[in-house]
Amino acid sequence: MIILGFESSCDETGVAAVCTERGLLAHALHTQIAMHQEYGGVVPELASRDHIRRVIPLTRQVLDEAGLQMSDVGAVAYTAGPGLAGALLVGASVAQSFAWARHLPAIGIHHLEGHLLSPMLADPRPDFPFVALLVSGGHTQLMRVDGVGRYELLGETLDDAAGEAFDKSAKLMGLGYPGGPALARLAASGDAARFDLPRPMLHSGDLDFSFSGLKTAVLTRVKAAEAAGGLDEQTRADLAAATQAAIVEVLAAKAVRALKQTGLKRLVVAGGVGANQLLRARLAAALKPLKATAYFPPLALCTDNGAMIAFAAAERVKAGLAVLDADAPHSFTVRPRWDLAEIG
Ligand code: KG4
Ligand code: ZN
């Protein structure tokens, strides 16, 4: 069965076609980063309007690239939450309209389930069970994954998400939006050892995280540098490197602890921060002594995309967890706040 999937929860419009037997057939993405950049963050109303503009051309592109007719599509999937309400409504209404017009079943997908399963789009594909480190702009969670729909929360952030820590620290250093990639780029020419930043909750003995204190520590360093004559380029790079090192060290240490605690040998990293090269290198090194393996989504599928939504729907269909009812009413709702533990 071919599933057409739509992602529109934040500032990326993603569309993809996935076949339950053959996997990913085609995907297309439009990122709104350039549009939101001048405001220093995502403007929800602009995001919604841009999703409306992009979604149909992207759908045509995906069908063309996959060599599909609309009549080949067997089901439609969309991100039902969590995310920005107006933005979510665009993907949901387009998907439900498509399903209504073609008399197809429509499947609402949890955005984080999309991220969680996205490393299975890579080759080699991890087998269940595994520990998942979900690190995005809005979430930082460690989960035990025993199968599709079988997710157990092991630990999570008590305040800021890892991506948020990157973004907020980057903003303090005068870097643009989104801060994560910009901070990582600047860190490449910096010396992490110059600043001793805190590693929040590194030794807390559990699997929870806290990143808001790190942001405060970065602010203190920025103010001190400014008072001492200005934040020069090398100081900014050194501070970026130190910030990245602190976040990565905590993420890697807790991921290792989760593997030890569960006795599992596979770690799957998903979400935008999974694109971070230092995190990838650190995890690879930290997992070696445990004889454990780290799996990452293909770099292009780390941040938000339609492929992970269509793929999660396909996996739910194969696991018998999706209701495939073309006669179901096409009324719909979205859930801007939605706990992954609530889905079955
Ligand atoms: O998963 P995602 O695209 O969107 C959410 O669902 O939040 O993640 C976006 C987050 C942002 O905070 C961004 O700064 C961060 O991922 N990010 C990175 C990198 N690329 C994206 N953080 C650190 N290093 C990167 N290379
Ligand atoms: Zn995301």
Ranges of each domain in the chain: 2-117+302-342, 126-296
Work out the burial of residue 71: count CB atoms within 10 Å of its CB; fewer than 13 is exposed, 13-18 middle, 19 or more buried. exposed
> 112 CA distance to ligand 2 centroid (A)?
7
User: Measuring from atom 24 of ligand 1, which residue has the nearest CA?
Assistant: 276
User: Measuring from atom 16 of ligand 1, which residue has the nearest CA?
Assistant: 272
pLDDT attached to residue 176: 87
Pocket of ligand 1 (CB under 6 A): 10, 136-138, 163, 166-167, 178-181, 184, 271-273, 275-276, 303-304
Each residue of 132-155: pLDDT tens digit? Answer: 999 999 899 999 999 999 999 999
**111 annotated to bind ligand:** yes
Q: What is the 3-state secondary structure (H, E, C) of 204-253?
A: CCCCCECCHHHHHHHHHHHHHHHHCCCCCHHHHHHHHHHHHHHHHHHHHH
From the CA of 111, give the closest atom in ligand 1.
6
> 24 CA distance to ligand 2 centroid (A)?
19
**134 annotated to bind ligand:** yes
Residue range 2-117+302-342 forms a domain whose CATH class is alpha beta
pLDDT attached to residue 213: 94
Share of the chain above pLDDT 70, in %: 100
**138 annotated to bind ligand:** yes
Give the whole-angstrom CA distance, residue 8 versus residue 108: 12
**135 annotated to bind ligand:** yes
Bigger pLDDT: 14 or 323?
14
Q: Which residue has the tokens 């001048």?
A: 38
Task: Work out the pLDDT band at 62, boundaries 50, 70, 90.
Answer: very high
Q: Are 336 and 158 in contact (CB under 8 A)?
A: no
Among 136, 177, 280, 337, which is best to mutate for testing ligand 1, by the most ligand atoms less than 8 A from CB? 136
Dihedral-angle region of residue 118 (phi above 0 means left; psi in -120 to 50 means alpha; beta otherwise): alpha
Q: Nearest ligand to the C-alpha of residue 309?
A: 2
Mean pLDDT for 255-274 is: 97
> 274 CA distance to ligand 1 centroid (A)?
8
pLDDT attached to residue 342: 85
Helix (H, G, I), strand (E, B) or coil at 175: coil
pLDDT attached to residue 230: 86
The yes-or-no verdict on residue 302 having pLDDT over 80 is: yes
Q: Which residues contact 167 (CB under 8 A, 6 or more apart)?
A: 137, 177, 178, 179, 180
pLDDT attached to residue 343: 85
Mean pLDDT for 284-298 is: 96
> 297 CA distance to ligand 1 centroid (A)?
13
Task: Work out the pLDDT band at 236, boundaries 50, 70, 90.
Answer: very high
> 303 CA distance to ligand 2 centroid (A)?
6
Which pair of tokens denotes residue 8? 């529109």
Q: Which residue has the tokens 């920005």?
A: 84
Share of the chain above pLDDT 90, in %: 94
Give the whole-angstrom CA distance, residue 108 versus residue 334: 9
Q: Are 157 and 210 in contact (CB under 8 A)?
A: yes
> 139 CA distance to ligand 1 centroid (A)?
10
| Of 190, 155, 174, the residue nearest 230 (C-alpha) | 174
Each residue of 153-176: pLDDT tens digit? Answer: 999 999 999 999 999 999 999 998
Task: Work out the pLDDT band at 301, boundaries 50, 70, 90.
Answer: very high
Pick the CATH number of 126-296 from 3.90.550.10, 3.30.420.40, 3.30.559.10, 3.40.50.1970: 3.30.420.40
Work out the burial of residue 329: count CB atoms within 10 Å of its CB; fewer than 13 is exposed, 13-18 middle, 19 or more buried. exposed
Among 303, 305, 337, 338, which is best to mutate for testing ligand 1, by the most ligand atoms less than 8 A from CB? 303
Task: Work out the pLDDT band at 341, boundaries 50, 70, 90.
Answer: confident
Each residue of 97-115: pLDDT tens digit? Answer: 999 999 999 999 999 999 9
Give the chain's mean pLDDT.
Answer: 96
Each residue of 180-203: pLDDT tens digit? Answer: 999 999 999 999 999 999 999 999
